[in-house]
Amino acid sequence: MKYPLLALLLALAGPVAAQTPAAPAFQLQCEVNATTQLRKTYCETRDLTLPAPPAGTALSVDARLNGNITVRGWDASTVRVRALVRASSGELAAAQALAASVRISTANHQVQAARANGSLDDWSVSYEVLVPTRTSLALHATNGGLHLENVQGTITFETTNGSVQLLNLAGDVRGKTTNGSVALMLSGPTWDGTGFDVQTTSGSVQCRLPTTYAATLTARTTNGRVTAKLAPATRKQLLPRSLTATFGKGGPQLRLATVNGSVDVQQSDASSSSAPGKE
């Protein structure tokens, strides 16, 4: 062979490249800019890559004042962020300049945005974040929804006006929204971790879990009704405004609550279940 060393290097490079996980495609995209005679809207996306926080440190994402947050776990050791920046003004050029003035910081494992002059008017940033599956999180929003999927860790979240969707989480999960619904989907044999405690003030709560799940769940409402469709073997105490259920042999404590809204808990086979809030 004329180039034996080169051939050897190429042969070795193939398997190494194949082991690199492919990043999921970002789903956050700019929509068609809304314009009126008085207001013009400009939107752009920015993609960032940053190191994962060390064990014991949470990745903080702050979307206040107006912005949504989506976090999805993936099989990698880095964090990828797509920030969607939207700005509006009387003229399109002014809206573009306003968006350009928004700076996104990732220092100290804290993702947040600010305008150069400190004003919060007429701009917003939403985030889609891909994190290693085992990552602790601290999420904050005001007028925006939260979506978390396939993440395990110490997770806290809070929003004021926005719905919350939690899919296939694990660890110690605690959070709340004030005006918004909560939808929870569980998978696997049991909750892997300390448990969760999630609540809303004004909004419905939905929970879906497998018929073979093992855990202890309490769900309650103050002004609403609790309904449940559970496997025959599930031990339960179902009252109009509360549910206490032991699934399988029991396990970590899972708590769901609302003040003004209904609560619905259902067990079903994985093959026939659908994501809560998508029925």
Output the pLDDT for position 188: 93
Instruction: Determine the average pLDDT of the residues in 7-32.
Output: 64
Say how far apart CA 203 and CA 223 lie, in whole Å: 10
Say how far apart CA 172 and CA 183 lie, in whole Å: 17
Domain positions in the chain: 33-150, 163-271
Dihedral in degrees, nearest 10, Cα atoms 203, 208, 214, 215: 0
Phi, psi of 10 (to 5 degrees): -65, -40
- Of 53 and 34, the structure prediction assigns the larger pLDDT to 53
Q: Is the pLDDT of residue 2 over 50?
A: no
pLDDT in tens, 114-146: 987 777 789 999 999 999 999 999 999 999 999
pLDDT in tens, 133-188: 999 999 999 999 999 999 999 999 999 999 999 999 999 999 999 999 999 999 99
Mean pLDDT of all residues in the chain? 89
pLDDT in tens, 256-267: 999 999 999 999
Instruction: Determine the average pLDDT of the residues in 16-39.
Output: 72
Q: Which two tokens stand for residue 128?
A: 């889609």
pTM of the model: 0.87
Q: Is the pLDDT of residue 36 over 90?
A: no
Output the pLDDT for position 117: 75
Place of tokens 């003229």: 91
Output the pLDDT for position 6: 44
Say how far apart CA 60 and CA 107 lie, in whole Å: 10
pLDDT in tens, 215-273: 999 999 999 999 999 999 999 999 999 999 999 999 999 999 999 999 999 998 753 44
